[in-house]
Amino acid sequence: MVHSIVPLAVLEAVRNLDTPVEDGLSEFAEELLSKRLGLSATVAMQLREYETMVRRGAAADRGHVEALLRLVGRRPDADLVFADAGRRAARRAVRRMFALTRLAARTGPRAFGYAAARGAARRVFGGELRRESHVPVARVDDLLAVQATPDGAACAMYGTAFTELLRLLVGFEGAMLHVSCRATGGQVCEWRASPPDARHQ
């Protein structure tokens, strides 16, 4: 099962990156619209469908999601799409939590925030999020990302999603580093927290 939040977030990221900036080239706008996938009628229709599925809590077809990730993986800006999609998916996952859960995560002991993040990681991303020696660690056993992108490009979506969940629910300010990947021979895809760069403090 793949949560419908995942393909919705990917398509939203594609649309966002394919939307032209205000650069004074409006005479070329129609030509750009016809060439950019994210602005196509097909993507608009799929976005509406996935929005409905998310509201209903329906699962997405695994084959369709794999095909979508594979298509995005061929783009020259795939890393940007997957990173944006992970953050968008995490934000949606948090918005779908009960209000009391969000409140407890943000104002209560950090353990409440970790519990909320752990639940969202499991429900939406099929991931296992926990702390080892007080360091956040996430693992994904599902092969979806690697099957869609054999180079592991789609794994970036999970890394940014876990980072965003921790940022929103625990106040985490570092990054989740992809320390093991099935695409490069690892037994599991694993991310481990890295502290924020001291130069940016």
Task: Give the model confidence (pLDDT) of 29-88 as tens digits.
Answer: 555 444 566 567 888 899 999 999 999 999 999 999 999 999 999 999 999 999 999 999
* pLDDT confidence band for 197 (50 / 70 / 90): low
Angstrom distance (rounded) from CA 69 to CA 7:
8
Angstrom distance (rounded) from CA 82 to CA 158:
8
Percent of the chain past pLDDT 70, that is, above it, reads: 87
Q: What is the pLDDT of residue 18?
A: 85
Quote the tokens at residue 75.
């783009």
Q: What is the pLDDT of residue 1?
A: 83
Region 146-170 average pLDDT: 97
Concatenated DSSP letters for the chain? -EETHHHHHHHHHHHHHHSPP--S-GGGHHHHHHH-GGGSHHHHHHHHHHHHHHHHTPEEPHHHHHHHHHHHHTSTTHHHHHHHHHHHHHHHHHHTS-HHHHHHHHHS-HHHHHHHHHHHHHHHH-EEEEEETTEEEEEE---HHHHH-TTSTTHHHHHHHHHHHHHHHH---SEEEEEE-GGGT-SSEEEEEEPPPGGG-
Region 101-108 average pLDDT: 88
Q: What is the pLDDT of residue 40?
A: 77
| Average pLDDT over all residues of the chain | 89
Q: Which residues pair with 139 in a beta bridge?
A: 128, 190
* pLDDT confidence band for 194 (50 / 70 / 90): confident
* pLDDT confidence band for 96 (50 / 70 / 90): very high
Task: Please give the single-letter amino acid code of residue 190.
Answer: E
How many C-beta atoms lie closer than 10 Å to residue 114's C-beta?
20
Region 11-18 average pLDDT: 92
For the chain, which residues make up each domain, given as ranges?
Answer: 2-200
Region 119-128 average pLDDT: 96
Region 112-134 average pLDDT: 95
Angstrom distance (rounded) from CA 89 to CA 158:
9
Q: What is the pLDDT of residue 65?
A: 97
Q: Say which residues have a Cβ less than 8 Å from residue 83's Cβ, sequence separation at least 6.
A: 156, 157, 160
Asked if residues 76 and 82 have their Cβ atoms less than 8 Å apart, the reply is: no
The pTM of the full predicted model, rounded to 2 decimals, is: 0.88
How many C-beta atoms lie closer than 10 Å to residue 15's C-beta?
17
Asked if residues 158 and 127 have their Cβ atoms less than 8 Å apart, the reply is: yes
Domain 2-200, what fold? H-NOX domain (3.90.1520)
Region 5-9 average pLDDT: 98
Quote the tokens at residue 17.
């990156």
